[in-house]
A and B are shown apart, each in its own frame.
Chain A
Amino acid sequence: MFRPVVRLSTSGVRSLTRTRPCYSAPSASRCYSHAKVETDEEFDARWVTYFSKPDIDAWELKKGMNTLIGYDLVPEPKILDSALRACRRLNDLASAIRILEAVKDKSGPHKDIYPYLIQELQPTLIELGISTPEDLGMDIL
């Protein structure tokens, strides 16, 4: 699967998760790969579908999360929402909190990504009863 390496941009909160790949369509006469590039929306949709599987099992959740965290990006709120609901189906509160910690760590030096994610996920967190690591005092040593 061909996946471009993208970097976190610092301009604006909305575009913080991913930028578009910056090379043009294959109309030049150079020897670029002709593989189809997956758009951001397709990527998001694929992952939301993955976590939305009704009978997802614990291994698939682990594999999905570990793979997602391995990418050079911070997942969109809708992917995380889908993952948190998967944790709920698996009765796994600890993993849900762990996912929030992981995306905070993924944001690295960009300190405004995590508050944005929490703000977007607030309805889900309240509905499912997931406390953030900050609520539980687990964000400090």
Chain B
Amino acid sequence: MRSSTTLINSTEPITFFTILATSKQISQMLHLTKVCVGCLLSRRAVLALTNSGARMSSHDHHEVSNNLDVSQPMYSARVDTPLPDRPWKDVLDSTDKSLKQEKGPWTALSKEEKIALYRLKFNHTYPEMKRPSHEWKTVIGGMFIFFGITGLLVFWQCHYVYPPQPHTFGEEWQAKQIQRMLDMRINPIEGFSAQWDYKNKQWK
């Protein structure tokens, strides 16, 4: 987190790849920890990611970030692990009735009851687990924001930091320099002077 804030505030040239990596990292970090980095991106990212991802705020049996006990079996929503270590809902209140029904013949259950039993044990179905997220928009957007900020920094630097151009860059000087190079026959066989038509005094 510290390294990313120093990166934003520095006025050193920032490469495109660093920006890309940083914005992606920030999106991922925000997705996991929801800590505000203190920049424009964080507010947008938090808004964008609030409803995506399996946050368990509506279920009282999971406590995230402070009291998550990783020494106990944990629920995981992974397509390569169909049966996680623990069911989704541990504490059952009015859903106790459904529990008894699972012991009897399953042909006696209605579709809604079967769905309810599934939802007790699993948070998301496979299609829900594999649904596409909108995270890429945050990443690309953040990337472009950083490009823009860098562009502004570079523009400011060109205007205020760079010293004046050497006098040898001027039009007049350049013209005199070219004429001198032609007079000296610089690279007359295959290079510079070879391109000049000396008879007709023009470029070939």
Binding site for B on A (CB under 8 A): 61-62, 65-66, 69-70, 88, 91-95, 97-99, 101-102, 104-105, 128-131, 133, 135-141
Contact = CB atoms under 8 A, between A and B. Distances in A.
Nearest to B126: A101
Contact of B82 (A69, A133, A136, A141): A69
Given A94-B120, A101-B126, A136-B115, A66 B102 contact: no
Contacts of A130: 106
A129 B103 CA distance: 12
A131 B83 CA distance: 18
**Top-9 shortest CB links A-B:** A129-B106, A129-B107, A102-B82, A94-B121, A62-B83, A101-B126, A94-B118, A138-B125, A91-B103
B81 interface: yes
Contact of A93 (B87, B106, B127, B130): B106
User: What range describes how many residues of B lie at the interface?
Assistant: 20 to 34
Nearest to A90: B102
A69 B81 contact: yes
Contact of A141 (B107, B118, B120, B131): B131
Contacts, number: 81
Given A93-B102, A136-B114, 15 more contacts: A62-B85, A66-B82, A69-B81, A88-B106, A93-B114, A95-B83, A97-B114, A97-B118, A105-B126, A129-B108, A133-B125, A135-B111, A136-B115, A138-B118, A138-B125
Interface of B: 79-85, 87, 102-103, 105-109, 111, 114-115, 117-118, 120-122, 125-128, 130-131
A135 B81 CA distance: 23
A94 B84 CA distance: 12
Given A101-B125, A133-B125, A138-B118, A66 B111 contact: no
A10 B131 CA distance: 26
Nearest to A131: B114
18 contacts: A65-B82, A65-B83, A66-B80, A69-B80, A88-B106, A91-B102, A91-B103, A93-B118, A94-B120, A98-B121, A102-B126, A128-B106, A131-B114, A136-B115, A138-B127, A139-B127, A140-B127, A141-B127
